[in-house]
Structure 1
Amino acid sequence: MAEVNDQICSIKGIVGIVEKVYESSVMIKILKNPTDIIYENNVTVINHKNYEIIQKAAV
């Protein structure tokens, strides 16, 4: 499970930084969005099952 400030990539290819962790999902600030979907405020929520961690946050 990702933690705050980890960089993740969703199964749709959206890359972002975790801003908040919920019980079954994370809220991310989007850095890269290869989809045609427009996200208001450049933020989205992704279920824990639908992403992989690219880079862990520095301790």
Structure 2
Amino acid sequence: MEDLVKANVGEKVLFDKEIIGLVEKVSENAVIVQIIKNHTKREFDNNKTVISHRMYKIMAKN
């Protein structure tokens, strides 16, 4: 089993190749992010979503 690098609160993550979110909460299997850039047609309730640790890349460290 490979070790995943988990984002921390306040870090920016990239997912779905075109969406950037700011991590608000970290759990064992996922993060909750506030969407800050969305270059897709996808819409998110309250501009927030849950992303599995396997589905994002960390963009910027604090």
Tell me the TM-score normalized by structure 1. 0.88
RMSD (Å), alpha carbons: 1.0
Partner of 2:3: none
Partner of 1:14: 19
* 1:29 maps to which of 16, 22, 34: 34
Partner of 2:8: 3
Poorly superposed stretches of 4+, deviation over 2 Å: none
**Which blocks of at least 5 consecutive residues in structure 2 are unaligned?**
1-5
| 1:42 pairs with 2:47 | yes
Is 1:12–1:35's contact at 8 Å kept on the other side of the alignment?
no
SS in 2 for 1:27: strand
Task: Indicate the percent of aligned positions where both proteins have the same amino acid.
Answer: 42
